[in-house]
Amino acid sequence: MLAPTAWRERERRHAERAAALTGQAAQRRSRGETHPVEDFLYTYYAWAPGKLQRWHPGVGVVLAGAEERADWANYVAVPAGVQVDAAGIVGRRRATVRLARDVLVATRGRAPQLACFGLHEWAMVHRTRPEQVRHAGLPLRLGHDGTDAVVESHRIRCSHHDAFRFFTPTAVPLNELQPTRQDQPAQEQPGCLHATMDLYRWAMKLSPAVPGELLLDCFELAKDVRVLDMRASPYDVTSMGLSPVAIETPEGKAEYARAQREFAHRADPLRVALVAVCEALLRA
């Protein structure tokens, strides 16, 4: 049980941290502006910046003096106060909770693979025309011919379905794997940048069963990973103050692998915590 003074202080700190993490995105939205790096977290994952503002205590925590939350979705009143309705959540989302647990556990059980070098982004523009690239406002650092040459001269082994499904038709057969949604638990590995960013996806899908602090930890990690994702992409991101990671060179490959390893290390305790949330829900 958390007393009102304790949980309201956590709620306040959460709101401040969320505002710091999402404030620029909210301002851009109010002006009708977009950002090809950061906005991925709000368009691809489809949750607006404001969604991160609300703090939740997680499963099994009773909030004393929180009567205003009794009418919130996925909350329930108990004799000592109000808490997240774990049984109700798992009753409605059992398949999602099981999938999250299976993917997270399986991913954590594998050694990180650090030799993909972010080529998924390159494969998404392989053999395209200028008007077909996803980020039309950004030039390709090596041009179209140079980008195609990088794709065709490297081994491509993308294991993440949600990256692979955006490969161009000419790049699909170049991938050594053909990942699908059904075999996601069998394919995910902790070195994959998109698997790491997806910790934020799972945290949101499990919300409000996920403590607010854990949700923001996952979001902050995804935000940092997205920066590397675009720095190592074929796009020229220098106009946004970002230096490229030239993965077509030995030095760039080494830099990318070091960052992958660091992100995998940061992600591991978050995966453990999300698995614990899944197990708590399934017990309910």
The predicted-structure confidence for 14-64, as pLDDT tens digits, reads as follows 999 999 999 988 889 889 888 889 889 998 998 988 899 999 999 999 999
Angle between helices 212-231 and 4-31 (to 10 degrees): 30
Task: Tell me the per-residue pLDDT of 187-231, one tens digit each, with 9 for 90 and over.
Answer: 999 999 999 999 999 999 999 999 999 999 999 999 999 999 999
Residue 170 lies in a domain: no
- Terminal CA-to-CA distance of the chain, rounded, Å? 18
Which residues form the domain of 263?
A: 35-54+87-115+181-283
Residue 229 lies in a domain: yes
CA separation, residue 258 to residues 193, 221, 228, 248, 283 (Å): 12, 16, 11, 15, 38
Residue 197 lies in a domain: yes
Residue 59 lies in a domain: no
Residue 205 lies in a domain: yes
Q: Which residues pair with 83 in a beta bridge?
A: 76
Query: What is this structure's pTM?
Result: 0.95
3-state class of 236 per DSSP?
coil
pLDDT value for 34 = 85
Q: Tell me which residue of 126, 212, 131 sits closest to 164, measured CA to CA.
A: 126
Task: Tell me the per-residue pLDDT of 75-95, one tens digit each, with 9 for 90 and over.
Answer: 999 999 999 999 999 999 999
Residue 124 lies in a domain: no
Take residue 190 and report the two structure tokens written for it. 């902790």
Do the beta carbons of residue 230 and residue 237 sit within 8 Å?
yes
Residue 244 lies in a domain: yes
Number of structural domains the chain divides into: 1
Residue 43 lies in a domain: yes
Task: Tell me the per-residue pLDDT of 127-175, one tens digit each, with 9 for 90 and over.
Answer: 999 888 888 789 999 999 999 999 999 999 999 999 999 999 999 999 9
